[in-house]
Amino acid sequence: MTSRPSILLCTEGTYPHYLGGVSVWCEQLISNIPEADFHVLSVVHTPVQPVRFKLPANVVSVTPVALWGTEFPGDRCEPVSELSARRAATVPAVIAERFVPPFRSVVRSILNSGANPDALGRALLDLHGYFQSFDLYQSFCGQAWEAFLGEIAECPRFRGMTLAEASMCLGWLARFFSILTTPLPRATVTHSSLAGLAGIPGVLLRIRDGVPYVLSEHGILLREVYASMANSEYPDACRAFLIAYHRAIAAANYHFADVITSLGDFNAGWQKRFGAHPGKIRYMPNGVDPRRFLCAPAPAPRPTVLTLARIYALKGITNLIESAAIVRRSVPNVRFRILGEIADIDYFDECKALVARHGLQDHIEFCESDNPAEEYRSAWVYCLPSVSEAMPFVILEAMMSGCPVVATNVGNVAQTLGQCGLLAQPNNPLDLAAQLVTLLQGPHAPELRSRLASSGMQRARATFTIEAATGRFRELYQEITKCRHLSLVC
**What residue ranges bind another protein (CB under 8 A)?**
46-50, 68-69, 71-73, 79-81, 83-84, 137, 140-141, 145-146, 149, 152-153, 159-167, 170-171, 174, 222-223, 226-227, 229-233, 235-236, 239-240, 243, 273-274, 313-314, 318-319, 387-388, 408-410, 425-428
Strands 259-262 and 213-216: parallel
DSSP 49: P
DSSP 485: T
DSSP 314: G
Q: Comparing C-alpha atoms, which of 324, 317, 407, 332 is closest to residue 364?
A: 324
CB of 281 to another protein, least distance (A): 17
Rounded to 5 degrees, what are φ and ψ at 157?
Answer: -70, -30
CA–CA gap between residue 204 and residue 79 (Å, rounded): 26
Per-residue CA distances from 439 to 269, 299, 409, 459 (Å): 31, 13, 17, 19
CA–CA gap between residue 165 and residue 162 (Å, rounded): 5
Contact 50, 17 (CB under 8 A): yes
CA–CA gap between residue 365 and residue 327 (Å, rounded): 15
CB of 360 to another protein, least distance (A): 17
Nearer to another protein, 147 or 452 (CB): 147
Per-residue CA distances from 271 to 43, 153, 186, 202, 459 (Å): 22, 31, 28, 17, 26
